[in-house]
Structures are given as structure tokens and as C-alpha cells.
Amino acid sequence: LPLPLLPSSSPGFHAREWIAPAVASYTFHSLMHDSTGLLNSTVWIIAPSMNPDGYDFTWTNDRLWRKTRSNRTMLCKGVDPNRNFDFHWMEVGASDNPCSEIYAGPEALSEPETQALANFMLAQKDRVKVYITLHSYSQLFMYPYGHTLDLPDNWEELDRVAKLAVEALTAVHGTEYEYGSCGSILYLDAGSSRDYVKGVAQVPYVYTIELRDQGYYGFLLPPEQILPTCEETWEAIQVVAKEALAM
């Protein structure tokens, strides 16, 4: 029988955010050596990179490339996958200019990367209890929504768990995070995986974690901060999984 909780983690939508795939890999490693019992009681789906072509391009050509590598026009390549989901697509915080870094694509779910996640979430939506998408940077722990200042019905529960997760994260290395809805503490953006998974797949616990730092290094986080970021984020992820499992 399917296990009652299926946490899903999808980092790396934005190719230049290298710390996100590193945290996902560390999460996988930690589960393999886990003494908390989470791996025995839950199924985990971890996608180390949801934009592999873009990620590869940051290693070979342009370190700060953000989008996918699809051919949409003769002039500019790529789509911002985190503006491409079919939920309030193109309403706010997105562009119809193919050369923009926040180009939402010619239509919703135009990219194979976004189609793959959307198909999986819809097929498994009755099992998935947690969805976490990893990004950088800003040190924010956010729940839906991003396309509006309106909040989901269970926002008080999402806020409660976010507070606990941030407290656990800060306890590791003293790193301070802000928590709240994306629209209230970051900016408005439509077509994100976070809002799609909450609004369409109706997953109960949905979070975006904007990892270190707060802008000094930005996307070029130095190697010595990789392991501390992974360690503290893993503690927060554990909190979310345990709280969701207890409900």
C-alpha cells in the first residue's frame, strides 16, 4: 500500500542557483543515513535538478544563466520555468519578452521540465503531503501564494510549521530566515511551481526555501558555505516532514 506521506523536493529550476541542487543531494545523503525513521515511514521524491540543460550551461558557458535552453525564438533561448506553470500564468511578475529572464513562455507548461513536474503532481496528488522547492538567494522560508496577497485556506498551519522550521534551521549555525507568504515577504509572481502545486494539485504543505545568502555573494555562494547551508536546511526539512506526518 502507498505510504501516507510523500514529500517531494524539486530544486534547480533556475540554473544559476547552484546551492539548491547541493542541498537536495545532501538531503538524499542524510536520508540514507537517517536515524529519525523518516525514510521508513515516508516515500521521498528528490529531483536534484529540474532544469538540467540550463544547469549544464552554467558550467560550460554562462555561470549566471537562469532559464531553460529551449529554442523559442531566433534571438533568445529559454523560458523561466518558475513562471511557466498553468496557474494564473502571466498574470503578474512575468514577461512575454523571450529575451527577459522572467519570460513565461509562449504558453503555460510549454517546457518539458514543467510538464514533467505537473504530470507527476497531478498523478500523485492524493499521496503527496509536502512539496518543497529550493532556490537562492535571500534566506526566506515561504508558503503560497506568490501571484496574489491572498492566502490559502490552511495558511495558519503553514505559518506555524514555517516558524518551527526556521527555528530549527537557525539553531544549527545561527542563520536567520524570514518566513511568510511569498507575496508578502518577497514579490508577486505568477506561474510558479509553488502556487501550481498548492492551487492545482492541492498539496497541503508547500514551501519555497530561498537559501543563503542575503546578497553579499548572491548566486556565487563560496564553497565553504555549502555544507553549513545543507546542514541547517536539512533540519528545517525534517521539521516540515514530521509536522505533516503528525497531521
Write the pLDDT tens digit of every residue in 193-215: 999 999 999 999 999 999 999 99
Task: Bin 216: left if φ > 0, else alpha if -120 < ψ < 50, else beta.
Answer: alpha
Between CA 48 and CA 63 the distance in angstroms is: 18
pLDDT at 1: 40
Assess whether pLDDT exceeds 70 at residue 4: no
Q: Which residues are catalytic?
A: 210
If we measure between CA atoms, which residue out of 110, 130, 79, 82 comes closest to residue 246?
Answer: 130
Lowest-confidence pick of 38-47, 136-145, 172-181, 209-218:
38-47
5 pLDDT band, cuts 50/70/90, is low
Cα 33 to Cα 123: distance, rounded to the nearest angstrom:
29
Nearest partner of 147 among 81, 209, 78, 199, judged by Cα: 199
The values of phi and psi at residue 14, to 5°, are -100, 115
Confidence of residue 52 (pLDDT cuts 50, 70, 90): very high
In angstroms, the CA 110 to CA 51 distance is 14
Domains parsed from the chain with CATH numbers? 7-246 (3.40.630.10)
pLDDT 10s digits, 54-85: 999 999 999 999 999 999 887 899 999 999 99
- Beta pairing class for 178-181 and 140-143: parallel
- Within 8 A by CB and 6+ apart from 77, the residues are 67, 69, 70, 71
Q: How confident is the model at residue 3 (pLDDT cuts 50, 70, 90)?
A: low
